Structure 1
Amino acid sequence: MISLDTTTALSLLLSLLVFAAVVVAVFAINRFVEQRKQQSRFKDLVGSAPVASLPQVQAPKASRWMDSLYKLSLPSEGWAESTLRLKFLRAGFRQNEAPRIYYAVKSILVLVVPLLVSVLLILLKPEMPTSKMALYVVLTATLGYYGPDLFLHWRTQSRRDTMQRGLPDLVDLLVVALESGMGLDAAITRVSKELARSHPLLAEEFYLAGLEVRAGAGRMVALKNLALRMNLDDLNGLVTMLNQSERFGTSLGESLRVQSDVMRVKRGQRAEEIAAKIPVKMLFPLIFCIFPAIMVVLIGPGWMQISAAFGFK
C-alpha cells in the first residue's frame, strides 16, 4: 500500500492536471462562442446569407501555453499547403484557430489523459500489476491519438453525403436562374441564398465560391476550389462541364439540365444500392438474435412436455 504522504502528493498532482484540462476546455469553448457571436453579427448584416461561409474576424492569438500544446502534435513546416489543411476545409473547419485547438486537444488526449488514468489507477487500484496498468495507459493514449482523426473523417464523410443529396436540387435552381436571364456568377450567389434553409452546407460552399469570384478570382478558379473542398465526383463533372461550355460557347442552360438528369439518375442508383444491401445487413441480426428467441418460444413448451412424458430431468 502507498503511504499517506504519497497519496496526498498524487491527489495534488491529479488536481493540477484536472485543472489544466479544464482550463484548456474553457479556452476552446470560449473561442467557439466568440466565433458564433461574430457569425451572428454577420448574419444580421447580410440577412439570409449562409453564416459559416462569411469572412471570419481575425481572432486574437492563442497564449504561449496553448501554442506549446498544439505544437506537440503539429506536423512539420508547410502543413498549411498540404493535404492536411485540405482535410480541415473538407470537414468545415475554416477558422484560423481550428488547427491550434485541434492539435492542442490531441496533445491533451495523448499526454494528459493517459497520465490521469495512470494516477487514478495508482490511487484506486494499487494492487494492479504494472503490466496491466501500462496496457491501460497505452490503450488510452492510442485512443487519444486516433480519436480526433476518426472524428475528422466522420465529419467529412457526413458533410459529403449531405451535400451529395442536395446537389441535383441546386443544379435545377441554377437552370431556372440562368434561363431567367441571370449570369452564372449572379446565379450562383442567388441560388446559394435560396438554398440556405433546405441545404445549408451546400449553400455555404457555393456562396463562398461566389465570394471568391467577387474578390477577383477567376470563375473557373473559384469553381475548381469549390470542387476541391467538396470532393464530390458529381461536382467535378459539373465543373468540367461548365469549363467546356464556357470554352466552346455552348448553352449553359441545356448543359446544366442534362447534368441535373444524370445526377438524379445517380442518386436513384445510390438509393437502390443501399436498399439492396438491407437483406444482407439483416441476416446476422436475424440469425443470432431473432431466430434463437423464436425457436425457444416455439420448441420450449413442446420440449418441456416431452421431457415430462419420458421422465427427463
Structure 2
Amino acid sequence: MNGAPPSGPTIMGIDIIWVASILSAVAAFAVLLAIYAATTVRDPMAKRVKSLNERREQLKAGITASTSKRRAKLVQKSETTDRIRSLLSSMKVLQDSQVKQAQTKLLQAGIRRKEFAVAVIFGRLVLPIVIGGPMLYFVYGTEMFADWSPMKAYGLVAGSFILAYKFPDIYLKNKITKRSAAIRKGLPDALDLLVICAEAGLTVDAAFARVSKELGKAYPELGEEFQLTAIELGFLTDRRQAFENLAERIDLDSIRGVVTTMIQTEKYGTPLASALRVLSAEFRNERMMRAEEKAARLPAIMTVPLILFILPVLFIVILGPAACSINDALISKGP
C-alpha cells in the first residue's frame, strides 16, 4: 500500500515549497540586515578627528596628556610597560633596534601607542609558550594524536611554535597591508586636491588640513595621516621632520615620492602645484594599470566559482521543473 502523495512538487524527496520558504526567510533577513547597516552608518572620521584634536592640545601645552585622569591612565600603562621592559632586559632579549622596528610597524598599522612595541616583543616570547607548550603536551603527552606518524606530529608541534612566534608580526603586516592599500587608493585624489589648494594660495599646512577634511569620509586612513601632518607642520620647528614622519607612518613608495617632492619644494622654492600635478597623473595611471591587471586575471579566477557554483544552479533552474514534472508523473501512476 502506497503512502499519501506529497502535497507539493518535490525533487530527490525534498519539498520544493519548504526549501523555497527557508530561502525566502534567509533573503528577508539579509535585506533587513542590509537596511539596518545602511541606516546606522557612523562617521568614520569622528573618533579619529577627536583623537587628533587631543593630540593638538597636547602639542600646544607641551605635556603628555590634557587631563589628570588621562595622565593617571598613561602612568598606569607606562608602569606596566616598564615592568615588561625590565623583564625583557633582564632576560637579555630586548634590543633598541627591535623596539624601533616594532614602533615603526605599529605606526604603519595605525597604532599610535609606541609603548605597545614592548608588548609585541613580549608576545613573541610568550605566545610560543602559551600555544606551543599545550600543543607539545597534547601531541607527545596524550594519546590524542597517537595514530599520527612521527613526522606529522613533529610538523604540528613545530608549526604551532613557529606560528605562535610569528603571530604578532603577521597581525601587524596584515593591518599594514590593508591600511596601505586604502591609502594608495585615495592618494591621487588627495594630490589633486592639494594642487587645487596650492593654486588657491593656501599654505602647505592649511592645504593638508583642508584635504584631510574633504577626504575624511571617503578615505579615513589618508585623512587621518594628512590631519596629523598638518598638526605637525603647525607645531614642529623643523617642517622637514613633519614630512619625514609622514613617510615613516605609511609603508608606500608613492608616499615617499610625495614627501621627497614636498621637501624639495620647501628647500628650493620650486612650484608645488606643477610637481604635485605630475605625481597625481603618475599615481592615477598606476592605479589604472593595477585595475587593468586585476581585470585581466578575472577570467582565470572566475573559472572555479563558475564550475562549482554557477553551473550547478543553472542546471537546477533549467532541469528542475522537468525533473519535478517527471517525478510527479511517476508518483501519480504508481504500481
Could you say which TM-score interval applies, normalised by the shorter chain?
0.5 to 0.7
What secondary structure sits across from 1:116 in the alignment? helix
Native 8 Å contact 2:106 2:112 kept in 1 = yes
- What residue is the counterpart of 1:5 in the other structure? none
Map 1:120-131 to 2 at 5 A.
120=138, 122=141, 125=144, 131=150
Native 8 Å contact 2:191 2:276 kept in 1 = yes
Deviates more, 1:179-188 or 1:208-217: 208-217
- What residue is the counterpart of 1:105 in the other structure? 123
Q: Percent of aligned positions with the same letter in both sequences?
A: 32
Q: 1:236 to 1:103 in 2, by over 3 A?
A: closer
Q: CA deviation at 1:128?
A: 6.2
- What residue is the counterpart of 2:201 in the other structure? 181
Deviation per residue, 1:149-177 (Å, 9 max, x gap): 22221111111110000111211222232
- What residue is the counterpart of 2:221 in the other structure? 201
TM-score by length of 2: 0.61
Q: CA deviation at 1:144?
A: 0.6
Task: Output the CA distance in 1 between the equivalents of 2:226 and 2:289.
Answer: 25
| Match of residue 80, structure 1, among 94, 99, 103 | 99
Native 8 Å contact 1:166 1:202 kept in 2 = yes
Q: CA deviation at 1:138?
A: 2.5
1:224 is the counterpart of 2:244: yes
What secondary structure sits across from 1:250 in the alignment? coil
Question: Which consecutive residues of structure 1, in runs of 5 or more, have no partner in the other structure?
Answer: 1-38, 50-54, 298-313
Q: 1:194 to 1:162 in 2, by over 3 A?
A: same
- What residue is the counterpart of 2:156 in the other structure? 136
Native 8 Å contact 1:109 1:144 kept in 2 = yes
Task: Output the CA distance in 2 between the equivalents of 1:104 and 1:223.
Answer: 31
Native 8 Å contact 1:213 1:219 kept in 2 = yes
- Larger RCO: Structure 1 or Structure 2 (Cα < 8 Å, ≥ 6 residues apart)? 2
Q: CA deviation at 1:187?
A: 1.3
What secondary structure sits across from 2:232 in the alignment? helix
1:250 is the counterpart of 2:257: no
What secondary structure sits across from 1:242 in the alignment? helix
Native 8 Å contact 1:192 1:203 kept in 2 = yes
Q: CA deviation at 1:213?
A: 2.2
Native 8 Å contact 1:114 1:141 kept in 2 = yes
Task: Output the CA distance in 2 between the equivalents of 1:284 and 1:172.
Answer: 40
| Match of residue 182, structure 2, among 159, 162, 167 | 162
Q: CA deviation at 1:200?
A: 1.4
TM-score by length of 1: 0.65
Native 8 Å contact 2:243 2:262 kept in 1 = no
Question: Which consecutive residues of structure 2, in runs of 5 or more, have no partner in the other structure?
Answer: 1-45, 57-63, 66-70, 317-335
- What residue is the counterpart of 1:308 in the other structure? none
Native 8 Å contact 2:247 2:255 kept in 1 = yes
Native 8 Å contact 1:69 1:107 kept in 2 = no
Amino acid aligned to 1:276: A
| Match of residue 50, structure 2, among 27, 40, 43 | 43
- What residue is the counterpart of 1:152 in the other structure? 172
1:280 is the counterpart of 2:300: yes
Counting matched residue pairs gives 257
Native 8 Å contact 1:73 1:103 kept in 2 = no
Q: Which is higher, the Rg of structure 1 or of structure 2?
A: 2
Q: CA deviation at 1:250?
A: 3.4
- What residue is the counterpart of 2:319 in the other structure? none
Task: Output the CA distance in 1 between the equivalents of 2:255 and 2:132.
Answer: 43
Map 1:58-73 to 2 at 5 A.
58=74, 59-62=77-80, 66-67=84-85
Amino acid aligned to 2:115: E
RMSD (CA atoms) = 4.2
